[in-house]
Amino acid sequence: MVPGGAGESPSDGALCRAFGAGDTAAFGELVRRHQALLLKVLRRYTRGPEDTRDLAQRAFLQAFEAARRALPRLQQADGEVPFKAWLLRIAINLGKNHLRDATRWTAVPVDDARSASAAAGAQEQLERAEAEAAVRRAVLALPRRQREVFTLRVDGGLPFAEVAQALGITEGNAKTNFHHAVKRLKEATQR
Amino acid sequence: MTCEDFELELGAPALSEAGRAHLQACASCRETYEVVALAALPEVAATERAALAGLEASTLAAWQAKTRRRDLVARVPSLALAAGLGAVVATGVMWKLRPAAPLADAPGVTPVAAQANDVDPELEAPVVPELSAEALNLSDDDVSFEVAWPSATEGDL
């Protein structure tokens, strides 16, 4: 069984170690714990729920594989397993590659159909949808690091400290990239 | 609160009290807020959430299939080594069990090489039967030719 205090959920590292020892329930717990976040981060890069699910599964498998390889080393050094950071980094890379492959076949922007707006008038709704589509295209056209920081912050709702950990950068660097990303998006909407 | 501080609140689940107050007062930050709101994706729909149902089971099944493949691949070198060793052992056993050749120093047995060297060259000469007409039983009756003079026009073109 996974170690953890009464009423206290076990850490990702403890779950990874338990899974490494053959506890499949720990595997399930890790998937359940992170699948909602992964859905939020991946949906920007996909066309629909099926794509998102497929990418989420691949991200989990790759993260588990990374954990399996790193566990012996981390156990020796008594280090924490940054499972969530691995998962997010893998998910972003998978999403980026998926988007690249998708746009290779079609120039249609990713999922404008999702932008259902609650605007009152049809004209206003159309304008709003067009503005959303333009800004979302601009997000995908941001430089890599800015895009990664922006999507983890805005889509994932992560604190800058976790964004930084997931991307292997400092918190200050994450904030700077976010600032530049927002600036670029403002410029894109003013054109 | 400064504009920089406000910007860093964007993307958080909710604005702070100070952030909301700054938003009311600052036009530039309202513009920034609007851009980020446009860029943000809508709330996750129920259909999207439903698509993730069973992700845990399918991911576990995929992991187990991957593990089985990896174990099989890891076993290939040891299987190949075992097969190689088996082949070596089988070759050794077959070598041991092959039919025994006659021993050269056994009593009454002449070595093959020695026999070859001792043969009289005259005995090796092939015996060619002598051929003669009598031996072939051929007589003049059996051999006849028709001989005639060439015609007067033979050879004319």
For the domain that residue A135 is a member of, what is the CATH number? 1.10.10.10
A16 to chain B: which residues are within 8 Å by CB? Answer: none
pLDDT digits (tens, 9 = 90+) for A96-141: 999 888 766 554 444 444 545 444 578 888 888 888 889 999 999 9
pLDDT of residue A78: 62
Residues A141 and A70 reside in one and the same domain: no
Q: Do B40 and A155 touch (CB under 8 A)?
A: yes
What's residue A113's pLDDT? 45
pLDDT of residue B72: 84
Q: Which residues of B touch A186 (CB under 8 A)?
A: 31-32, 35
* pLDDT at residue A2 is higher than 70: no
CA distance B76 to B89: 20
Looking at residue A128, its pLDDT comes to: 85
Count how many domains chain A has.
2
In a domain, A4, yes or no: no
Q: What is the pLDDT of residue A184?
A: 93
Question: Among the three residues A75, A106, A137, which one is the final residue of a domain in this structure?
Answer: A106
CA A128 distance to own-chain centroid: 25
Whether A163 has a pLDDT exceeding 90, the answer reads: yes
If pLDDT is split at 50, 70 and 90, which confidence band does A6 have? Answer: very low
Question: Which of A53, A57, A185 comes nearest B39 by C-beta?
Answer: A185
The answer to whether residues A129 and A112 touch, using CB atoms and an 8 Å cutoff, is: yes
A91 and A148 together in one domain: no
Higher pLDDT, B117 or A155: A155
Could you give the angle at which helices A49-77 and A12-20 cross, rounded to 10 degrees? Answer: 80
Residue of chain A whose alpha carbon sits nearest to that of B67 = A65
pLDDT at A122: 81
Residue of A nearest to B35 (CA): A186
Q: Tell me which chain B residues have a C-beta less than 8 angstroms from the C-beta of A52.
A: 48, 51-52
Question: Cβ distance B32 to A186 under 8 Å?
Answer: yes
On whether both A17 and A97 belong to a single domain, the answer is: yes
Domain boundary among the residues A106, A131, A163 is at A106
| Segments of chain B scoring below 50 in pLDDT | none
Q: Is residue A111 part of a domain?
A: no
Residues of A in contact with B8 (CB under 8 A): 160, 175, 178
According to the model, what pLDDT value does residue B67 have?
86
Does A98 share its domain with A138?
Answer: no
**Whole-angstrom Cα distance, residue A83 to residue B83?**
41
Indicate if the pLDDT at residue A158 is higher than 90.
yes
Residue A168 lies in a domain: yes
Nearest chain A CA: its distance from B52 CA (Å): 6
| Same domain (yes/no): A88, A136 | no
User: Whole domain around residue A148: which residue ranges?
Assistant: 121-191
**A1 is a domain residue:** no
Residue A52 in any domain: the answer is: yes
Helices assigned H by DSSP within B97-140: 112-118, 133-136
Interchain contact, B36 vs A178, CB within 8 Å:
no
Q: Are residues A95 and A154 in the same domain?
A: no
Residues of chain B contacting A132 with CB distance shorter than 8 Å: 38-39
B55 and A160 in contact by Cβ < 8 A?
A: no
Percent of all residues in chain A with a pLDDT value above 70, rounded to a whole number: 83
Q: What is the reported pLDDT for A139?
A: 93
Q: Say whether both A131 and A76 belong to one domain.
A: no
Asked, for residue A154, whether it belongs to a domain, the answer is: yes
A80 domain-assigned: yes
Interface probe with A: pick from B36, B66, B68, most Cβ of A within 10 Å = B36
| Whether residues A128 and A102 fall in one domain | no
Can you state the angle between helices A83-105 and A12-20, rounded to 10 degrees?
80
A126 shares its domain with A181: yes
Within this chain, do residues A164 and A82 fall inside the same structural domain, yes or no? no
Question: Percent of chain A at pLDDT above 90?
Answer: 50
Is residue A164, in this structure, part of any structural domain at all? yes
- Do residue A88 and residue A138 come from a single domain? no
Most A-contacting residue of B56, B58, B71 (CB-CB within 10 A), to test interface: B56
- A97 with A29, same domain: the answer is yes
pLDDT of residue A119: 47
The CATH number covering residue A13 comes to 1.10.1740.10
